[in-house]
Amino acid sequence: MSTPTRTVDDSLATAPQPSDAEIIARSRDEPETFALLFRRHSAPLHRYIARRLGPHVVEDVLAEVFLAAFRERGRYDHDRADARPWLYGIATNLIGRHRRAEVRALRNLERTGFDPVTEAFVERSDARVGAAAVGHRLAAALAGLRPGYRDALLLVAWGQLSYEETAAALGIPVGTVRSRISRARRDMRAALGGIDPTSIQEES
């Protein structure tokens, strides 16, 4: 009866890393390797889901994203080295199950200025002048978008996916992504109206 010595898990930081596609392929035979995919992508995915649905369901949704991905791993397209579009696509579907709650929170923010999604982190936010007014209007605009438009817009704005990646995530042509985002941006602009929405630097 031996007691194994502790092994320090530091090799992950220095050794060459396999691609997402390779991790997924391996997880067919060695399920545990799927944890590597989780470690690689879970933090930004967590934040993305939290920004859409708030802190109460984020862990459930995040776990479900990776479990759904695990169940579907046999169908992963191995020409895609980067699994982010795939994972964000699965996350989008699962977020869609909370659509009513998501819209309710946005409407709540629009009406009351109280955002249930950010309440837990409110002390960390900058006290920006005018942020509240912008938040009201953005919330109204986001709540008013059709779901497919909101998904495309937020994958680009918050998920930091390219248009091509967003198209892959949503399973729609990139031309459709372009038209949805351009339409959604027009709606956002209209909602922001005459207000100078930012004291923020322009993005390119």
Partner 1 sequence: MTNEMAALREFRSEVPEPSEVRLRVVEARMVAHLHGAPAPRRAVRRIAWRVGLAAGLAGAVTVGVVTIRHQPSAPAAPPPLAQPSGAATSGTGPRIQPVSAAQVLDLAAQAAQGGGEITPRADQFIVYESITMYTADVGDGSRYLYRTKRTAWLSADGTRTGSVRIEYLQPQAYPGWPIPPQAKQEVGRVDLLPVCGSPNNYVRLRTLPTDPQRMFAYLQSQASGGGDRNHRLWEAAGDLLRENYLPPAQRAALYRAINLIPGVVLVPQARDAAGRAGVAVGIVDRQAGVRDEIVFAPDTYRYLGERAFVVDAATAKAPVGSQLAGTAELSVTVADSAPVATSGPKGPDCR
CB nearer to partner 1: pick between 28 and 97: 28
Compute the distance between CA of residue 34 and CA of residue 19 in angstroms, rounded to an integer.
Answer: 12
Cβ atoms of residues 94 and 65 within 8 Å = yes
Does residue 116 touch partner 1 according to CB under 8 A?
A: no
- To partner 1, the closest distance from the beta carbon of 24 in angstroms equals 9
Does residue 204 touch partner 1 according to CB under 8 A?
A: yes
Residue 11's region, left for phi above 0, alpha for psi from -120 to 50, else beta, is alpha
Q: Where are the beta strands (DSSP E) in 48-108?
A: none
- To partner 1, the closest distance from the beta carbon of 177 in angstroms equals 14
Select the residue interacting with partner 1 from 15, 100, 129, 194 (CB under 8 A): 15
- HSE value, Cβ hemisphere, 13 Å, CA-based, for 188: 18
Q: How far does CA 61 lie from the centroid of its chain?
A: 11
CB nearer to partner 1: pick between 58 and 169: 58
Does residue 148 touch partner 1 according to CB under 8 A?
A: no
- To partner 1, the closest distance from the beta carbon of 158 in angstroms equals 7
Select the residue interacting with partner 1 from 93, 108, 118, 176 (CB under 8 A): 118
